[in-house]
Amino acid sequence: MTLILGISWFIGTQFFIEQQRHPKKWQVLKIVVLALLIGFYFYMPFEHRYDSNPEYLIRFFLFLIAGHLFVLIAPFITTWDKNAYWNYLKTIAISIIRSGFFSLILYIGLALALAAIDALFDINIQSKRYGQTFIFCLGIVNTLVYLSDFPKNIHEQTQIHFQKALEVLVKYILIPLIILYLIILYAYSFKILIEWELPKGWVSYLVIALSLLGFVIQVIINPIQKEIKSWAINKFYPYFYILLLPLLVLLFIAIFRRITDYGITENRYFIVAIAVWILSITLYLLFSKKKSLKILPISLFSIAILSSFGFWGAISVSNKSQANQFKNLYSKALQENKLISQTDYIRLQSILDYLDERESITKLDQITGLSMERFRDTLNSDYRNKGWLNTAKIWDSLNLKVDSTTMVEGNSNNKYYNYYQNWNTNFTQSIAEYDSFRTLSINANAQVANTGNKDFYIKFNNPEILIEFYDVLNDSLLMELNLKKELEKFTLLGENLYDIPQEKMVISAKNEAFSYKIIISQLSFDKENDTIKFYSLNGFLLSKK
């Protein structure tokens, strides 16, 4: 991930240095970028813990976007020329298409060569080699071909060559798409006014897509808009931006409706940031005399960097907003003698999961009067695993009760539980009490599970979710496992079963005739209200008759 970031940041740095009067004096910037990349490397956690905490991936993608935006503006930070900048952006677009095409041809050729070696010489080519070849073509060859198109004298390329193909693209593809989006959104706006209802949240994505497409068109036609003989291109500015302004009102209403109801998350934070950016750029293009194109990538670059850290950043603002949502819902429950609606209970649970994922569960300590980390099982935790949060104990301590009158059949209180064992842990089980060891696989449609054992066999009763062990000799019932009750116990451990220690994913029992132990390696089931729907269970069965 660090190396991926380094590609765009070092390219941008090199482009910036090459355009300076004394390039050697600016070489220190490469050391600064290298130091920042090393800092990012040590910021990222070891192993794969960043998969469970989105904070790390969010910052990675923000820095990745910022790096690519830096490439778009690097040669023009200190010196500006409108025509040279347009040619630079054109070169970037052509280079991306050309390098992608060349890399694809090379990959197809190399993949066919590997397949030929495999088929003709009976040499086993592992399937992962094809993926590694693709990464080589995309990461190494594609980058080198991309860079080979760039001249060093970027500021000397001031003559505009607006090809007929670009005019066709803008006139007959991009502008018609803009018109189609405008018709759809204005029709939807009239529908809202007639029915007097708030806009759906999804409309915000369509307005953003329309705005970004409009900005792309503006960049393409900027140097020739007044000279070219095309009514659609000549009139694109300012009419598109005038028509866009009412739709931006629709955009902000849709966004703040969701924020008012559910608070800010990272996703909504970025939508608000993009919406503010679109409004600012629209007003800038309408009223500014300069209309400098570099303001678009510079402003986006600033948003990407600034939103990645600080109390104003996406992660900090989102965590505070969700904690505040929890506070409001909990205060409401306290006013009702700790009686809470099912909808509010589900929201509290989702906020708890949200903050736990982001390692910010302590933000609820002051609100609840509890030390939330006390409810975390850290017995098997290490630098790769922070341990699992026992939410059932939290709700017991808070003593919240769900109002039965608010329970709705088939509502959104439907949770999916899934578990896969990571065997890269220190886990042992005693086998002294048992005399056989078998794999076990049961799915919802199975009636009989063959254990490969001559002493007993298994029947699975799906409606009741029962596992029954039968004697092979006389077909008598040896023992019965009520799997539904076990699944109910698992739901008390929290919805995220991945964090549960392996010791808790073991089921065992014995009587005078039979004893067993099931070590679960995979499990999936649904719970809707009080109804359990079982899908599958895989694991290992230790037994003794």
Give the domain extent around 378: 314-407
For residue 517, tell me if it sits in a domain: yes
How big is the CA angle at 59 (ends 374 and 293), to the nearest 5 degrees? 155
- pLDDT value for 393: 78
pLDDT digit string, tens, across residues 526-537: 877 678 888 888
Q: What is the mean pLDDT of the chain?
A: 87
For residues 446 and 502, state if they share a domain.
yes
Instruction: Enumerate long-range contacts of 354-360, CB under 8 Å, 24 or more apart.
Output: 354/265, 354/322, 355/319, 355/322, 355/323, 355/326, 356/389, 357/52, 357/53, 357/54, 358/53, 358/54, 358/55, 358/315, 358/318, 358/319, 359/53, 359/55, 359/386, 360/319, 360/323
C-alpha distances out from residue 200 to 139, 196, 364, Å: 40, 12, 31
For residues 447 and 403, state if they share a domain.
no
For residue 329, tell me if it sits in a domain: yes
Average pLDDT over residues 206-221: 94
Quote the CA–CA distance of 188 and 198 in Å, as a whole number: 11
| pLDDT over 90, % of the chain | 47
For residue 524, tell me if it sits in a domain: yes
CA-nearest of 46, 63, 1, 51 to 313 is 63
Element (H, E) at 339: strand 339-340
- pLDDT value for 381: 47
| pLDDT band with cut points at 50, 70 and 90 for residue 428 | confident
For residue 328, tell me if it sits in a domain: yes
For residues 324 and 402, state if they share a domain.
yes
Which segment, 134-143, 269-278, 419-428, is predicted with the most confidence on average? 269-278
For residues 510 and 444, state if they share a domain.
yes
User: What strands, in cross-sheet order, belong to the sheet with 456-461?
Assistant: 448-449, 456-461, 466-471, 477-482
For residue 133, tell me if it sits in a domain: no
For residues 366 and 403, state if they share a domain.
yes
Quote the CA–CA distance of 107 and 384 in Å, as a whole number: 36
How big is the CA angle at 44 (ends 74 and 55), to the nearest 5 degrees? 85
For residue 445, tell me if it sits in a domain: yes
pLDDT digit string, tens, across residues 159-212: 888 888 889 999 999 999 999 999 999 999 999 989 888 787 788 999 999 999
Q: Checking DSSP bridges between strand 376-377 and strand 515-528, what pairing results, if any?
A: unpaired
For residues 496 and 452, state if they share a domain.
yes
For residues 451 and 388, state if they share a domain.
no
pLDDT digit string, tens, across residues 233-287: 988 999 999 999 999 999 999 899 889 989 999 999 999 999 999 999 999 999 9
Asked whether the predicted pLDDT for residue 436 surpasses 80, the reply is: yes
3-state secondary structure of 302: helix
Whether the link from the prior residue into 238 is cis, omega within 30° of 0, is yes
Cα(first)–Cα(last) distance of the chain, in Å?
53
| 359 within 8 A of 321, measured Cβ to Cβ | no
Asked whether the predicted pLDDT for residue 47 surpasses 80, the reply is: no
| pLDDT band with cut points at 50, 70 and 90 for residue 412 | very low
pLDDT digit string, tens, across residues 49-100: 666 678 899 999 999 999 999 999 999 998 888 899 999 999 999 999 999 9
Total structural domains within the chain: 2
Pairwise pLDDT comparison (379 vs 137), residue with the higher score = 137
Quote the CA–CA distance of 141 and 100 in Å, as a whole number: 9
For residue 394, tell me if it sits in a domain: yes
For residue 89, tell me if it sits in a domain: no
